[in-house]
Copies of this chain bind each other. A is one copy, B any other.
Amino acid sequence: MMFASDNMGPAAPEIMEAVMRANQGHHMPYGADAFTDGAVQGVRDLFEAPQAAVHLISTGTAANAVALATLANPWDAIFVHRIAHAEEDECGAPELFSGGAKLTLIDGPDGKMDPAALRAAILLTADRGVRGVQCGPVSITNITEVGTLYSLEEIRAITDLAHSFGLKTHLDGARFANACAALNCTPAEMSWKAGIDAVSFGGTKNGCIGVEAIIFFDPAKSWEIELRRKRGAHLASKFRFLSAQMQAYVTDGLWLRLAEAANARCAELVAGLRDLPGAVIEAEPAGNMVFAHLPRAAHRRAMAAGAKYYLFPADSSLDGPDDALIRCRFVTDWSCTPQSVQDLLAHFRG
């Protein structure tokens, strides 16, 4: 009953086997090896983007920070949703990597930017001239931080707006695969075909040990990305161990199979929660993550049984009235079993 994060579970067997293979023999360091060539080519193929700049890095925060720093001047605003990972969960990494760019927060229901709010923020920023920060890139997350899904049309509404002001667009795809599986679309459809200029393509949360790909469909800044990655101390010397993971991840649809499994478990969990007396589900969960408000008694039983998931606020007390609702988050990963979901639901039902 491990639902705290998709970072909790094991890496997929295919990933581990690839890592083992990468451990055979000697290879040139810093990415000058065949695993890296293969991974980069595999990502380009997957995204139908033969010219794309593709650079691997070990954490999602690093992928975001390098991508955003490459898209933004130090004196720019980066437009993100109020609850974006870049704003809430990266301890200022985008600010560090960009040299002090400002994250300008955009509201919108269900963790998705309201285009009207984005437009207003851009206009307000632009109105300030030299006194204020300048308009920089727009970054959205799919699936969002609260487990909801931008449709392709919703992505397009944001990217069209950004491009109409000459601004670049970034997709934080820490859970790119889960979104793609939910939308039943191709990676290209959810990215450059929908107006996305740069992607953080996540592997870590979806069955890898730790690897993400920074993808820029326009390769003009490829060398700058390499320099920013190195300067950020993220150019792993035994780079083949990153590359081998990504190569396996994009081979034979592994990335999609793992996400589909995680999404399926989440759907089962959501279905069960909908039947749970007193439970309130937030928004419309569509990937592998759901936020809900459950009665305190349900939490008490599940936690006593060893279930792991996050409460908000983190220090919420389990003492008190049984039926008081406490907000919580569940995330399923590829290795989550149907039985584990049913066990959790059984404890909630008591």
- Seen from chain A, the residues whose Cβ lies within 8 Å of a Cβ on chain B are 2, 4-5, 7-11, 16, 19-20, 23-30, 58-62, 64-66, 73-75, 88-93, 95-103, 105, 123, 127-134, 204-205, 209-210, 224, 226-228, 230-238, 241, 308, 312-315, 335
Given contacts A10-B24, A28-B4, A99 and B74 within 8 Å (CB-CB): yes
Given contacts A29-B5, A29-B7, A237 and B60 within 8 Å (CB-CB): yes
Q: Is the CB of B102 within 8 A of A103?
A: yes
Given contacts A95-B100, A96-B231, A23 and B11 within 8 Å (CB-CB): yes
Pairs A–B under 8 Å by Cβ, sample size 7: A5-B237, A19-B19, A60-B237, A65-B233, A93-B233, A100-B100, A130-B226
Contacts of A129 in B (CB 8 A): 314
> What CA separation (Å) do A7 and B101 show in the bound complex?
28
Number of copies: 4
A19 CB to nearest chain B CB (Å): 7
Q: Is the CB of A228 within 8 A of B75?
A: yes
Task: Look across to chain B and name the residue whose beta carbon is closest to the beta carbon of A29.
Answer: B7
A66 CB to nearest chain B CB (Å): 8
A155 CB to nearest chain B CB (Å): 25
Q: Is the CB of B91 within 8 A of A101?
A: no
Interface of A: prevailing SS: loop
Given contacts A92-B101, A93-B231, A241 and B209 within 8 Å (CB-CB): yes
Q: Is the CB of A16 within 8 A of B20?
A: yes
A299 CB to nearest chain B CB (Å): 18
Contacts of A236 in B (CB 8 A): 58-59, 210
> What CA separation (Å) do A295 and B29 show in the bound complex?
26
Contacts of A230 in B (CB 8 A): 61, 90-91, 93, 130-131
Contacts of A233 in B (CB 8 A): 59, 61-62, 64-66, 90, 93, 97, 232, 234
Point out the residue from B66, B90, B133 that lies within 8 Å of A91, measured CB to CB. Answer: B133
Contacts of A61 in B (CB 8 A): 230, 233, 235
Point out the residue from B4, B9, B102, B235 that lies within 8 Å of A92, measured CB to CB. Answer: B102
A233 CB to nearest chain B CB (Å): 4
Contacts of A95 in B (CB 8 A): 74, 95, 100-102
> What CA separation (Å) do A101 and B234 show in the bound complex?
18
> What CA separation (Å) do A312 and B313 show in the bound complex?
40
Q: Is the CB of A210 within 8 A of B237?
A: yes
Most B-side CB within 10 Å, residue of A26, A130, A233:
A233
Task: Look across to chain B and name the residue whose beta carbon is closest to the beta carbon of A23.
Answer: B10
Contacts of A314 in B (CB 8 A): 127, 129
Given contacts A59-B234, A74-B92, A96-B74, A16 and B23 within 8 Å (CB-CB): yes
A49 CB to nearest chain B CB (Å): 23
Task: Look across to chain B and name the residue whose beta carbon is closest to the beta carbon of A229.
Answer: B130
A32 CB to nearest chain B CB (Å): 10
Contacts of A2 in B (CB 8 A): 26
